[in-house]
Every structure is written in structure tokens, then in C-alpha cells.
Chains A and B, each alone.
Chain A
Amino acid sequence: MRRFVSLLVSVGVVILALILSMGAIAATGGPPVEALHALWDGAFGGLAQFGGTLTRSLPTYLAALGWIVAFSARRINVGLEGQILVGGVGAALVGLHFEGMHALLHLGLGVTVGAAFGAAYAGIAAWLWARRQVNELLTTLLLTFVAIRLVEWLVRGPLQESGGVLAQTDRVHGSARWPVIMAQGSLSLDVLLIPLLAVCVYFLIHRTTFGYRLRLAGANPTAAVHAGVSTVRVGVLALLVSGALAGLGGVSRILGSESSRMTDWFSADHGFEGIVVALLARNGPLAAIPAALLFGALRQGGGLMEARVGVSSSLVQVTQGVVILLVALIEFVHRRRERERVDKTYTGESGAVKHRAGLDSNDEQPEQSPRVGHGGI
């Protein structure tokens, strides 16, 4: 029942955000209904459009999983965008070299290197946090800006295409590409990562010892320390896994994209979008699937909306921002409700005092002093 309510709330948030965005279109003199129609046609109008929606959902979803893993240990990885970029660089390096390698090996190597690059990049922030007590929030953001410049330099410098005209690399070798499922919409086999990793991450967080340690370190660092769990180790691992997931998103942007090249800023905000998706899904790996599809659809449909009605597709970002703020607001109402419910349980006539570990629901954030545990905020 509670799950159902929170689902309804999430849907309500999205509808409200869409209505507000339509209002913004109307306010700037655009046709809101036609815009919505174009958005729908662009995202779900046909098989090709739906393929595009799936393709665009994938990096966002992987970034969302990255956020969810880190956040279950209460580590804030806002630099998913940078990890996508660096993961993509790893994939491009592999894809541009090793000509004539067996396709399975080549792709496997590209995926592995991409994920490793993403993890290593998050690892810098993890090291600074664990050893130097620097807030990972700040370092992951700063690292994102470094990654953006790094890619800008690579596509104009050492990795520029042979012609040397545009700021992009050559196409990666065919053997490194994810096999194409559907030519229209450039849907590749990497889309299978969505169900696969959804299950893996869910299992990892909720059904393994490591996942339990993650959640314990996140929910109550003091208890974790008393239970013999090293919060530092867990936090570092959470950030590494988070970076690897984002890195996989970067791999898909290169090895699973139609152009198969690395360009400026090929992460295209998928990393930040992943955060929105994770928050909308209340940090549930399974619930993040429909949320990611929604944002993929907005992104895919935004192009047609811009072309047909002339409304800038940056409006989609406005919608996303509104979604986050509404989720934050509703979280508040939800938590207050929850508290009232719990108070009733404690003082209720049933007489039974329920013990709440605060571990089973992700939206429950126990109050804690940042002095407790390592790293604080």
C-alpha cells in the first residue's frame, strides 16, 4: 500500500512538473498542447522513436544506479557526469585501437576498461575522502569540470579524427561496437544492461552482506563501527562501484551510439539526469527503470518538439529541476506522515512497540550528527 502511494506521488510529481512546463511554454507565447503532442510523437510515435527513447534512457539509468549505490552508503556522488566522460574515454581508447581483434574480446575489453576508468575517476574522490577527509560532493563536482576539459582536449588533440577538421575522434572499430538490434533509433544490445543491472544492483544492495554493510554504514555509522564494519572501506567501495556504473554509461555513449565517435561533452547531462531519476524513484533500483524511461522519452521527444513547434528542448531540463524540488517537498510531507504513523504505533493501543531499524526503506533518513562516523555531510 505504501509503495503504491509513493508510486502515485511520483507520477503526480511528473504530471505537475509537465503542467508547469506547459505553462512556461504558454507564457513565452508557444502552443503548449501541440508541444506536448510533438513530445509524445517524438518519444513513442513509432518503433524507431521508441528505440531512441530506450537508447537515451540507458546512460541516465546507469548513472541513476551509480547514485543509488553510493547513496545507500550515504555517499554523495554528484560527479557521475565526469565518470561517464572518463569511462567513455576508456571505451574510445580501446575502440580506436586493437583493429582486427575478435569482436567479443574487443567489446569486452572496451566495456571493462570503460567501467574501470569510471571507477578509477570516482576513486580519486574516494581517496581524497578517505585519506584527506575532503567532502566527496565537492571533489566529484570539481573532477567533472576537469573531465569536460580533458575530453575537449582529447577530441581536438591526440585523438582527433584523421581528417583533422571536426572536434571528434574517428569511428571506433566495428568489432568494439555493441551489436545493433535495430538500425532505426540506433538501439544496440547494451540496452539489455537495463534489466540485467537493475536485478544485479537490487540484489547487491538488498540481498548481500556487502549491501547490508552499505546500508548500515549509510543509515547509522556508529552502529556500523560497533558492528565491526569499516565505514571508510565501505564508503570507498560504494564510490568505486558507483563510478564503474557511470563509466558503463560512458561506454554506451561511445560503443553503443550511432555515431560511434567521441565528441565534446558526449555525456550530454546524462549524469545529472541520473541523479534526478534516482531521486524520483526514491533510490529504488527497480523503480528507477520507469523513471529513466520517462526522462529518455523527454529527451528523445524534446528534439521533435523543438523542430515542430520551435520550443527549446532545454525546457526538458526545467522540468527535471522542478521534479527534484517537488520530490524534496513531498519527501517532507511523506516523512511527517510516517512520523505520525510511527508515533501512533509507539503509543497505540496495540501495546506492541515496533522496532524500526530504518534500513528497509530508503526514504527513511534517521537524524544523525555529522560528527558521528566518517566524512559527515
Chain B
Amino acid sequence: MGVFDAAWLYATIRVSTPLVFGSMGEVVAQRAGVINIGLEGMMLTGALSAFIATWLTGSLFLGVISGAAAGALLACIMAGLSIEAKADQIVVGVGILILAIGFTTFIDQELFAVRERVFLDRMAPVPIPGFFAIPFLGPLLFNHIPLVYLAYGLVPVVWFVMFRTSLGISIRACGETPQAADTAGVSVRGVRWGATVFAGMMAGVGGAFLSVAQLGLFVENMSAGRGFLALAAVFFGKWNPLLIVLGCLLFGAANALQLRLQPEPFVPFEVWLVLGVAALLAFVAVHVVRRQAPSALVTLGVVGVAAGAFTLAIIGPTWDLASQLWLALPYVLALVVLGGVVGRSHMPSMLGVPYHRGGER
């Protein structure tokens, strides 16, 4: 259907990958009680580190490992300050963010600005034999670069560990009632350290996906807010990996739509149609889930948006919306869905609160 074709779906899966990596790490950290605002910075550092390692060694594999290591290193700073020194996690996160932006720009300019921009070979898609032969779904789902399989493979694993193993219970306990976890003999410090470092590694791999796997080059500030979208996905998915991945795909779809629309001379009518239908569906879904009547203002707004979108679909104006506005789409979408869906009830109770053992104040 027009721009919503197989190429768009394929791109959605691909561009959602860094968000999936970032949010899978983040959900573990947040379930353990550590909110990692520096995610974006860890992603950026991972991207640069992976790029340098691949540039030096020529090995994509080592690049990804190095991206993970760089993310983990920053996460160690985060963990040390927020778990050991019990500093404000938000403040430390902002510090890591600013540090990472400055540091990656500095290193990039020192290493690469003087010479010509370095391009590396990208990671090649690896079709999975057998599955690839499935009509339509095969080329769509089973013809990706390995990191994509890894990201989506990680989702059920994280879910299983979180909800079906004793390790998962420990992690969740550290975020809900650390005192109880401590009493039961769980090392709150240990779990929080592990979760934070895991989050850093995943963010680093997400960054490596951006630089070496997807583009084959490093651009200053290339993560461009994807870390925050991953954070938004965690809130959107109510700290459940299976729902979070839906959030990632949603934001990814908006991003892929923008990529897909770039060559089009004007916005095709189906985009307006889908916008209208999506607004109505989301509105109904939210209120069915919440079991509460919508407020007049919100109803009016949604009906207005939908009516406007349908009118545009019928008239079919030859508008060429500027690419900058499409680039803002995932963020606007994230704000809208956060406002529509999230309640506070599912947030880990002790998120962002340092744990003091008895007597240690």
C-alpha cells in the first residue's frame, strides 16, 4: 500500500534495532532501581569506540565488542557514583551524557577531522537458510545483519530471565523493595552493578550498530536522541520487555516512514489515511484498557485530528512536508503515546533511590 510497503517494514525492523538494544539494557537497570539517563551518551561512546576498533583492526566483530566495552566503562562510572557514592542518579546521568558528547566530538576531531572522512565496510546481511525461502516474510524478517537478529533474540531472553528465573526476582526485588532483597541475602549492590553494566554494554552495542553495522562511518552526535527514544520505549512498555519492543518498533516505524518519504515528491494520501486511523484506534484502545470514559477535550482533539487527516487523504494536497518535520515525528509520537498510555503504577517503586544498608548512612 503505497509507501507502507515491504521496504518500509524492512526499514522499520532495521532502524528499531538500536532502540531495542538500548531499551533492553535500560529495562534491566531500571527494574533493578537504577535509572540510566546517560544511555544516549553510552550509545554515542559505543558508536565511536566500535568505529575506531573496526578502523584499526578491520574486524566488525571486535568493533562491536569494543562498543560494548566502552558502554560498560561509562556504566562503571555511573554505577560507582550512583550505587557506591549514592549520588543523584539523574545528575550523574546528565554528567555522563555531556561528558560523552564532548569526549566523542573531541576524539573524532582529533583523529579524523584532519584527514578525509573514513568509510568502512558495513556489516552485510546474512539470510537465514530455510526461513529465507518463506514468501514475503522470508526477505522481510530473515535477511538482516547479525546484530538485528541478536537484538530481537535478546527480547524473549530478557523477558524470560526477568519473569521466570530467580535472578529476575532478585533484579525486580532490588528495584521494588531493596530492604527485603537484602534481608533475603541478595546483594543489592551486586545486582545493581550488574544491571547497570549490562545496560551500558547494550547501549554500546546499539551505538556500534549505528556506526559500524549500519553506516560504516562515525558522525558527531550520530545517536541523535535514540537513547532517549529507548528510554521512552521503556516507560511506554511499562517495564515489560515484550511491550517495550512494540514501543521501539512504533518509534522505528515513524523513523522509517521519514526515510521512505524522502524520495517522494509530496506526502501521499495513504499517510494521512493511516494517521487518521491510527489516532482513532489508539484513542479507543487507550480507553478500553483504562476502562474509563475519555475527557471531552481529548475526544475533541482526537476527532479533530482524525477528521483533518481524512479530509487531507480525500483532497490529496501536493504538500511536500519538510524533512525536518518528519525527523521530529518519532519524538512527537513518543510524547503522544507517553501522555496517552503510561500511568505511574508500573514504575519500579525504588527507581532512582540509592539503597542504604541499615546503619550505613
Query: Are A312 and B110 in touch, CB under 8 angstroms?
Result: yes
Give chain A nearest CB distance to B325 CB in angstroms: 5
Q: Which chain A positions have C-beta within 8 A of B353?
A: 367, 369-370, 377
Please give me the residue from chain B that is nearest to A124 by CB atom.
B335
Q: Residue on A with the closest CB to B354?
A: A367
- Of residues 172 to 200 in B, which have CB atoms within 8 Å of A's CB atoms? none
B57 within 8 A of A: no
A134 to B337, alpha carbons, bound, how many Å? 10
Q: Are B347 and A376 in contact (CB under 8 A)?
A: yes
Asked if residues A369 and B349 are in contact (CB atoms below 8 Å), the reply is yes
**Given A328-B92, A332-B85, A377-B352, also A138-B231 (CB < 8 A):** yes
User: Number of B residues whose C-beta is below 8 Å from A?
Assistant: 56
The CA-CA distance from A153 to B323 in the complex, in Å, is 8
Instruction: Indicate whether A139 sits within 8 Å of B338 (C-beta atoms), given known contacts A28-B110, A314-B109, A332-B85.
Output: yes
Q: Judge whether A134 and B92 touch: CB under 8 Å.
A: no
Per-residue contact bits, chain B 202-232, to A (CB 8 Å; 1 contact, 0 not) = 0000000000000000000000110011011
Whether B105 is near chain A, meaning CB under 8 Å from some CB there, is yes
Known: A138-B235, A328-B91, A365-B88. A157 touches B110 (CB 8 A): no
Residue interface mask A136-169, B partner, CB < 8 A = 1? 0111011101100110110011000000000000
Determine whether A272 belongs to the interface, using a CB cutoff of 8 Å to chain B: yes
Bound complex: CA of A327 vs CA of B92, how far in Å? 9
Of listed A134, A315, A329, residue having the most chain B CB within 10 A: A134
Chain A residue nearest to B95 (CB atoms) is A324
Q: A320-B102, A325-B99 are in contact. Are A137 and B90 (CB under 8 A)?
A: yes
Q: Which residue, B85, B103, B106, has most C-beta atoms of chain A within 10 A?
A: B106
Chain A: CB-nearest residue to B322: A153
Q: In the complex the two chains form, is B332's CB within 8 Å of A332's CB?
A: no
In contact, A328 and B87 (Cβ under 8 angstroms): yes
Of A132, A133, A275, which is within 8 A of B94 by CB? A275
| Contact in complex: B81, A329 (CB < 8 Å) | yes
- Verify if B128 is at the interface (C-beta below 8 Å from A): no
Interface pair A367/B356, CB less than 8 Å apart: yes
Q: Which of A139, A145, A276 contacts B225 (CB 8 A)?
A: A145
B85's nearest neighbour on chain A, judged by CB, is A332
Let me know if A142 and B98 touch, CB within 8 A.
Answer: no
Q: Interface of chain B, helix or strand or loop or mixed?
A: helix
Judge if B357 is at the interface, Cβ distance under 8 Å: no
Q: How far is the CB of B351 from chain A (nearest CB, A)?
A: 6
**CB interface residues, A 273-314, toward B, < 8 Å:** 275-276, 279, 312, 314
Contacts across chains A and B counted by CB atoms under 8 Å: 169
One digit per residue, 1 when the CB lies within 8 angstroms of any chain A CB and 0 when it does not, for chain B 61-103 equals 0000000000000000100010001111011101111111111
Find the B residue at minimum CB distance from A141.
B228
Tell me whether A226 is interfacial, beta carbon within 8 Å.
Answer: no
Q: A132-B339, A328-B91 are in contact. Are A317 and B225 (CB under 8 A)?
A: no
A331 lies within 8 A of chain B by Cβ: yes
Q: Does A318 contact B (CB under 8 A)?
A: yes
Output the nearest chain A residue to B234 by Cβ-Cβ distance: A138
* Contact status A328-B90, CB under 8 Å: no
Please give, as numbers and ranges, the residues of chain A lying within 8 Å of B91 by CB-CB distance: 279, 324, 327-328
- A339 interfacial contact with B, CB 8 Å: yes
Among residues of A, the one whose C-beta sits closest to the C-beta of B333 is A142
Q: How far is the CA of A35 from the CA of B352 in the complex (A)?
A: 39
Given contacts A318-B102, A320-B102, are A328 and B95 in contact (CB under 8 A)?
yes
A157 and B322 form a contact (CB under 8 A): yes
Per the 8 Å Cβ criterion, residues 251-276 of A in contact with B are 272, 275-276
**Residue contact A332 to B339, C-beta cutoff 8 Å:** no
Contact B102 A149 (CB under 8 A): no
Contact B95 A142, beta carbon cutoff 8 Å: no
CA distance A376 to B225 in the complex (A): 24
**B81→A328 contact, CB < 8 A:** yes
Contacts of B87 in A (CB 8 A): 328-329, 331-332
User: Which of A135, A149, A324 has a CB less than 8 Å from the CB of B99?
Assistant: A324
How far is B347's CA from A292's CA once the two chains are assembled, in angstroms?
36
> Which residues of the other chain, A, contact B95 by a CB distance below 8 angstroms?
276, 321, 323-325, 327-328
Give Cα distance in the complex from A367 to B352, angstroms: 11
Q: How far is the CA of A149 from the CA of B333 in the complex (A)?
A: 14
Query: Counting CB contacts under 8 A, is B328 at the interface?
Result: yes
CB B196 to nearest CB in A, in angstroms, measures 15
Which residues from A are CB-within-8-Å of B356? Answer: 367
> Chain A contacts of B166 at CB under 8 A?
none
Q: For the complex, is A322 an interface residue (Cβ under 8 Å from B)?
A: yes
Query: Nearest residue in B to A276 (C-beta to C-beta)?
Result: B98
Question: Judging by beta carbons under 8 Å apart, are A128 and B335 in contact?
Answer: yes
Contact mask B126-165 → A, CB, 8 Å, 1/0? Answer: 0000000000000000000000000000000000000000
CB within 8 Å for A146 and B98 given contacts A153-B325, A314-B105: no
Partner of A321, one of B98, B110, B225, B235: B98
Say whether, besides A145-B228, A325-B96, A315 and B331 are in contact (CB < 8 Å).
Answer: no
User: Please, could you name 24 A-B residue pairs with CB atoms under 8 Å apart, sorted by A?
Assistant: A132-B340, A133-B342, A143-B331, A145-B228, A149-B325, A149-B328, A149-B331, A150-B324, A153-B325, A272-B94, A272-B98, A279-B91, A315-B102, A319-B102, A324-B94, A325-B77, A329-B87, A332-B85, A339-B361, A370-B349, A376-B351, A376-B352, A377-B35, A377-B352
The 8 closest A-B pairs by CB, nearest first: A321-B99, A317-B102, A324-B95, A149-B328, A332-B85, A328-B87, A314-B105, A153-B324
